[in-house]
Amino acid sequence: MRINAQSDILEVSSPDKKIKLSISTAEQLTYHVSYKGNLLISKSRIGLHLSNRRLGDLPKVKSSKTVKHKGTLALPYGNGHGIAEHYHQLTLQFEGDYELVVRAYNEGIAYRLQTKLTDSLVIMNEDAEFNIAASSDYEVEFPETNVFTSWEVAYKNYPHASEIPELVKAITPVLFTNKQFSVVIAESDLHDYPGMYLQKSGTGFQGSWASYPKHTVLGSWGNFVSVVKETENYIAKTVGTRSFPWRVIIPTDDDKSLLLNNLIYMLAKPMAMKDASWVSPGKATWEWWHDAIVEDAEIPSGMDNRNTELYKHYIDFASANKLDYLMLDAGWSDIFDLSKIQPKNDIHELIRYGKEKNVKIFLWCVVTTLMNDLEGYMKMMKQWGVVGLKVDFFDRDDQEAISWYEKIAAAAAKHQLMVNFHGCSKPTGLERAYPNIVNYEAVRGAESSKWDWHASPDQNMITLFSRMLAGPLDYTPGSMRNRTRENFKPIDPGLPSTQGTRCHELAMYVLFNQPLAMLCDSPAEYRKYPDIMEFLSIVPTVFDETRVLQAKASEVAVIAKRKGHEWFLGAMTNWNARDITIDFSFLPKGKWKAVLYQDGFEADKNAQAYQVTTVAVDQTSQINVRLAKGGGAALRIYRF
């Protein structure tokens, strides 16, 4: 870290000196970023537009402070050794009572503004520019949207970032790649402030935010979604002394590092719970995706027959296969009053029966109803014996809506309830403060297979290298009705299918970060394939160690993860078939058995085709595996 007084340039470098952020305090507060000596982000503005002035204009440095930090960030579950946290930090205090804080990690670089003002603030806008140097060289996977109300969007590919139309925006994280580098732009530690979108602006990109809501009504789906009808001419109103969200840039020339990158989590607010030992990740059976159709059940099934008897059937299935949870989706209660249970669903009996079978219950609800009596409903759920809530239909990420997430997480933590956010905006690290947040949706997941073609192997691979950097996802994998691109069609209502091979689905349970992992398909389907169910029964949802064996952004990933003394490995590809070599040198010395689930010989034509083999392996072993189009592989590796 150094200051050049003559040119008003300040520099912060990562501990390994590969990433450098240079700050100019001349007429306008600006920065640029280089990686291994290559300019990645050219001159870009930093600033905050208040109602009466603009922070960042004619900046005058009063003082600077540097900090070097090296330690280990403990985790409430998963990664038993914690996360290595090593950064250099520069804090610049400016006249006008505001600061710029820059942190440089080996994993990436981030900056945030802080104010120390006595009066409350009205934020008209923010200057958060990301001018990608030589943007025509970068291909971009753009999760494009023309609204501020959806985060389950498909990625639109632009071969050159410069081709993105002016003012078109996308949710973050956004992934840029060229022949040399991958760059991810994102945000972290979002509190009491609207979520950032990335919008094409001139030769680069600029942050974009939803305006503050002036008037809202219940509408949209079933008249239970909060819909903004009128907005203010500003994006936030807030206290005068506070920190604003981190603006994050993650560069690399090795895509393996993206699959290990925890920067967004590390930048977020530290744990706010006194004790998280009661939070219990696991797997859940779930009825909604397959319309509650259980073809081999000896009782009526289907959405109209969701009742106590049918849900006991799901509990029996979960218990027999060592699944931890039953997720009850919409329909168990009055949507607008959670205390009014539908007569056909005896929730109290299901909770009692679940305890008898060692299967716990999650219940679905909409956020607007929950917020009407947050404390009351949380207390009620805890008294009932529920262990978690699936909170759905946020459909906003303006400042007011963002406040709901932390309020819900804090209230749930108070009553030792887990939370699965669905229909929500992308995560920005809040699960660090509240580890009882086990998932966020914010992904074009399996549910969209009921309606369109977007949830595909191409989309899944982009998700791994971009969206997953933001935090855990509620993708809901596990389909047993697998189709090639040519044979797929959406089905709703009825029994849907998914694109990609069966082993592609299995690999998701290893590759995707999902502390609460759904099994989206019907118990009847899983019973047809006991060897598949054996893997799904035993695969963990959080792990102690991760090794990335192969990775190319948006194309292929091979990852090995350890839980205790066992290893699990997942491999996935996009719509391009490919051959991979699995090198077992990551294993400790000794003799191991590997149960390999791989695409069958006909998987390019029949995506359900798979084969299972068990082989002896050790540190010196290598296995060649063919991944079909949209294919995958999954392994369980254990000592013998």
Angstrom distance (rounded) from CA 496 to CA 405: 31
- Please, which residues bridge with residue 144 across strands? 170
Query: Of all residues in the chain, what percent are helix, strand and coil, respectively (each to 5)?
Result: 20, 40, 40
- β-strands 610-617, 592-599 pairing: antiparallel
Distance CA 589, CA 260 (A): 24
Catalytic residue among 287, 392, 441, 555: 392
| DSSP category for residue 512 | S
380 CB burial (10 A radius; 0-12, 13-18, 19+): middle
Question: What residues contact 321, with CB distance under 8 A and at least 6 apart?
Answer: 526, 533, 536, 537
Catalytic residue among 127, 141, 397, 447: 447
Q: Are 543 and 568 in contact (CB under 8 A)?
A: yes
- CA nearest 498: which of 484, 519, 511, 513? 484
Q: State the Cα–Cα distance between residues 454 and 452, nearest whole angstrom.
A: 6
Tell me whether residue 447 is one of the annotated catalytic residues: yes
**CA–CA dist 31, 48 (Å, integer):** 15
Sign for the CA dihedral angle at 438, 441, 444, 445 comes to positive
User: Catalytic residue at 85?
Assistant: no
Q: Which residues, at least 6 apart from 551, have a Cβ–Cβ distance to it below 8 Å?
A: 254, 255, 256, 258, 259, 465, 557, 558
DSSP assignment of 75-87: -SSS-TT-EEEEE
Catalytically annotated residues: 392, 447
